[in-house]
Amino acid sequence: MGYLLLALTIIIGLFAEGAGTWVRANAPSLNAPPAYAVQPWLAYKSAVQVYVEQHPGVSGSLDLDTLGLQGQTAALAQAGNSIIATPGQTTVVTWMAMPANAQADTLSLSDGDHSIGLSNGTSWTSPWFGDMGALPLMVPAGDIVSVVILSGTGF
């Protein structure tokens, strides 16, 4: 009887410890950024790139309605984009102001997307490669930024 009680106590203890670990691992962090600061910008960045790939030769800036993101107006209020088309290549720049903890989560959630970094105003840096050189336009310093260069004319 003593061994049965001991075994039952150990099993219950292991279950309780495992459940506590699951709760801690899956509970939202008190320092976690609001989801609006991260996922909508990643979707925005992707939507701009997809639009440019599907519409070779486009240049300028795209609004949320054009991208089908009109429902994200509040979350993307500080987001911007610029498409710079030159013969043989198109540069797609997207950016947005967000708190430092949201920037870190964005970089983490981007799954190693090397086109994402932080703006220094006229240049940008990548957490993977360091100094990435000049930006083709002024982006507010401290904003998260993505720079993608598409080669050719038909993508």
Q: Which residue has the higher pLDDT, 110 or 15?
A: 110
Q: How many CA atoms lie within 13 A of 80 on its CB side?
A: 15
Q: Residue 37: what pLDDT?
A: 66
Give the pLDDT confidence of 31-83 residue by residue, as tens digits: 444 455 688 999 999 999 999 999 998 999 999 999 999 889 999 999 999 99
CA proximity to 127, closest of 98, 94, 101, 104: 104
pLDDT given for residue 111 in this prediction:
83
pLDDT per position as a tens digit, 113-144? 889 999 999 999 988 889 999 999 999 999 99
* pLDDT value at residue 22: 33
The phi, psi pair for 143, rounded to 5°, reads -75, 150
Kindly tell me if the per-residue pLDDT of 11 is higher than 60. Answer: no
Q: Please tell me the predicted confidence (pLDDT) of residue 127.
A: 85
Distances (CA, A) of 58 to 47, 53, 68, 107: 14, 9, 17, 27
d(CA 41, CA 80): 10
Question: Domain 35-151 belongs to what topology?
Answer: Beta-Lactamase (3.30.450)
**pLDDT tens per residue, range 81-112:** 999 999 999 999 999 999 888 888 888 888 88
Q: pLDDT at position 20, please?
A: 37
Query: What's the confidence (pLDDT) of residue 30?
Result: 38
* Eight-state DSSP code of residue 99: -
pLDDT in tens, 21-39: 333 333 333 344 445 568 8
